[in-house]
Amino acid sequence: MSIEDAAAIIDEFASSWRALVAAEPPTGVAFAITDAASGGLVGCCGVDDWSNADVAQFGYWIGPSARGRGYATRAVVLLTRWLFELGAARAFLTVEADNEASAAVARRAGFVHEGTMRAHSVWQGERIDVMWFAALPLEWPMREPDEPA
């Protein structure tokens, strides 16, 4: 495939996404996270919910053999930027309270820890505490430097 062919496919994909977004917020959308050099699948991320108040919740997961290489942080930054471009007033994610690696991803991606909800969720049959992290478009440190405030 030529560069021009690839660019045309990307343009077509972007046009399809704009049509989807024009119709409704992107709830339930999932993306593959791949290695840039090999194209191999390393994880996934996606939008879990988009509320009527334009608050987007999303999550991410990286396969055990690919962890610690920056894939999750880059995916969170790119997905957050995309959500804000679509008009999200707030983006948030939740992290199991004892998952320090995932909490570190959220912090590196510019999210603020807003608190911990005790016994908020059930994971593998156990009630767990959940940390909440959020970013606001005008305060998010990862936004492009030339973006208007």
Contacts of 110 (CB under 8 A, 6+ apart): 77, 80, 135, 140, 141, 142
Return the higher-pLDDT residue of 99 and 1: 99
Is 133's pLDDT higher than 50?
yes
Residue 149 or 75, more confident: 75
State the amino acid at position 145 in one-letter form. P
User: Hey, which bits of the chain come out as E strands?
Assistant: 30-34, 41-50, 55-62, 90-96, 112-123, 126-135
Instruction: Give me the phi and psi of 61, to 5 degrees please.
Output: -150, 135
Q: What percent of the chain has pLDDT over 90?
A: 52
Q: Is residue 22 predicted with pLDDT exceeding 70? A: no
CA distance 79 to 47: 9
Over 50: is that where the pLDDT of 146 sits?
no
Would you say 71 and 45 are in contact if contact means Cβ atoms under 8 Å apart? no
Least confident of 4-13, 38-47, 60-69, 86-95: 4-13
Secondary structure of 21-48 in HEC code, one letter for each residue:
HHHCCCCCCEEEEECCCCCCEEEEEEEE
How sure is the predictor about 5, in pLDDT bands with cuts at 50, 70 and 90? Answer: low
| 30-39, 90-99, 108-117, range with the lowest pLDDT | 30-39
CA dist 38 and 129 (Å) reads 37
d(CA 130, CA 149): 31
In the predicted model, is pLDDT for residue 73 greater than 70?
yes
Topology given in CATH for the domain delimited by 26-135: Aminopeptidase (3.40.630)
Structural domain boundaries in the chain: 26-135
pTM of the complete model: 0.78
Mean pLDDT across 120-132? 92
Q: What is the pLDDT at residue 142?
A: 79
pLDDT of residue 136: 97
